[in-house]
Chain A
């Protein structure tokens, strides 16, 4: 029995089945929802995942450890740095390699730049789904500058392949540091304030977002939400603080949580504002990092053939979309025995299913956008 037939069986006479996606302007890639709605009001929106499944986890079993890093870029194309980072961190733990401090700083700088870029897209596309086109393109404009920086840093604009097992591929120089500080000067007071005045405090956006898809902290934990979605529900959980990795303990930054800025705690507007605040915090981290970057090597001594001893490791980083974890099992050979990737978007899909019940079709769009789901991250 297909999904449609099953839904048709439970459908009442006054309801219609709407097929939203996989080709739909606001499903952010190829995500499909089957919407059972009574006119404008939905009964439920059933997510159908798997349209972007590429079998990355299976590919990991057939690829040497170092060769798998380019594949990790494709797990989440909007925040590829984190996918790199989590994987190489796991392999380093298996091998027992100590990464040079300069490389760790470079990883933090690159990751936080990537977090800003990812949040810009997320916020912009949420605004666009609500109907405001301009904030999206303003976000794209700023992201373009970040892309230029990462292009200078590692030669790629989207799928970076920057991190290596034991360090990073390219060193930073004064020119790039200058560009980064130029960008931050432009970004932190100026752009954020402009963006807030343009869209964050816009009354129509506030009215559209408050009390839509409210997720209490208890529900959020039960859904398995991570990252900004979890923090917007009032749970102060950030892997950078709670399970420190890399050199994050050396930086001072706040973890913004949802406080019910205009409506109730954990609604779509909270998720929006939490992301805006996270961009500010990321910019602060980068400022601290580029001012105190140590000299030294950027690669540790790594054996030519990477053959970790048998064992398993779980390494997770705080990605732009929350906890991104790799569970790598090694059997002592050149390829991983198993590599399970845990991503934030997948659990968010379930929350959308539950929270979409009884709201408007227009609210579903807001809900999807506020969860910041990215299609490849769901399916891998």
Chain B
């Protein structure tokens, strides 16, 4: 952000006494941008998810408002806006009111460090990853607050489930990110992206076998931390009615959903930045990319596409898998993901040292891992093709009059 303000001052030929004002204005603009981006993303993803769900479930999904029902998210938002804001009598009124905003803020604050392009980032702080892990704790506080203050047994169970789950899964999330931090040698997201190359085999996911596994550990743990299926126990509608948000209505209820869908982008964005090369364009160096505004924009698009592919996978998992039980969830965290991620850190350290001793080894391992993942992707595509071929969508409802 500071760089950007310097460039703006230079561009307009202002004197440096205005730099503070420019920075403050820039932060406001960026805050608005992040809020708008997050809200738009949440809204459009809600529509997109419902369309995908409809497709997967042999039904249509929302298709009335606008082209393909695109404006459905806006209609839903407006509807919730006009709803009566019910605050039940026996609730702790203050906590009940502020809990949704805490959850929303907690997710939105991660946008401060998630980069969009080489120079568009809220603050490229040198403790970026630690900041993300710390600030998401606000979500836990908000959800527990919502569950407690509603003064209902179902919300309490939901809130406590969610707290246990999110606090537990923060550990594997943080540890699996350390696997990447070791070769990168920095906690700043921008610097991690810069230290990766543009071409896929230069990404950190292919840096060493540990990083490859760590990507999946991170993905699973982040799903659990974000309360998404198959780990959506806090809002398990078949067990806990609606979990921590049972008593909420109107806009306050919507804020929880906003946070949930924005969190999808956060999960995808962090994974993209750390493992998948972020906004890097293959064959273009960082200096060249940050000098041209079009290349920056291209970088933003590339970043978005990578993140959206991950979001797509999350949505697809949600409509396929059943839900785990609370003890199975905890067993998975403490018996499997935690030891695995600690082991991965050790392996990552060994590989990083080996690469410094034998630079050629790094190239070989990267290429091998890249080819392996291509094979896995190829096999996956073959399975998808096989299923489509052998189980065609034979919904011939037309034969019934």
A positions within 8 Å CB-CB of B: 16, 18-19, 24-26, 39-40, 127-134, 137-138, 141, 144-145, 148-149, 179, 182, 186, 190, 193-194, 198-199, 202, 204-205, 207-208, 360-363, 365
Contacts and interface: CB of A to CB of B under 8 A. Distances in A.
Contact of B399 (A133, A182, A361): A182
A194 B157 CA distance: 35
B319 A134 contact: yes
A365 B394 contact: no
Given A130-B323, A179-B400, 19 more contacts: A129-B238, A130-B322, A131-B229, A132-B320, A137-B59, A141-B395, A144-B397, A145-B397, A149-B400, A182-B399, A190-B391, A198-B320, A202-B321, A202-B322, A207-B328, A208-B322, A208-B323, A360-B326, A361-B157
B323 to A, nearest CB: 3
Interface string B324-357: 1111100000000000000000000000000000
B51 to A, nearest CB: 14
A40 B159 CA distance: 12
28 contacts: A18-B154, A19-B153, A24-B241, A26-B239, A39-B157, A40-B161, A127-B322, A128-B238, A129-B239, A130-B322, A130-B323, A131-B238, A131-B321, A133-B319, A134-B56, A137-B57, A141-B395, A145-B400, A193-B391, A199-B322, A202-B322, A204-B324, A205-B322, A208-B328, A361-B157, A361-B240, A362-B239, A365-B238
B239 A138 contact: no
Contacts of A360: 325-327
Contacts of B241: 24-25
A186 B160 CA distance: 46
A349 to B, nearest CB: 19
Interface of B: 53, 56-59, 153-154, 157, 160-161, 229-230, 232-233, 236-241, 319-328, 391, 394-397, 399-400
Contacts of B321: 131-132, 202, 204
Instruction: With a 10 A CB-CB cut-off, give which of A16, A131, A179, A363 has the most chain B CB atoms.
Output: A131
Nearest to A19: B153
B382 to A, nearest CB: 16
B325 A208 contact: yes
Instruction: With a 10 A CB-CB cut-off, give which of B240, B319, B325, B396 has the most chain A CB atoms.
Output: B325
Contacts of B397: 144-145
- Which 9 A-B residue pairs are closest in the complex by CB-CB distance? A131-B323, A148-B400, A137-B57, A132-B322, A26-B238, A130-B322, A131-B322, A129-B238, A204-B322
A152 to B, nearest CB: 8
Instruction: With a 10 A CB-CB cut-off, give which of B153, B154, B322, B323 has the most chain A CB atoms.
Output: B322
Contact of A25 (B237, B391, B399): B237
Contacts of A16: 153
Nearest to A149: B400
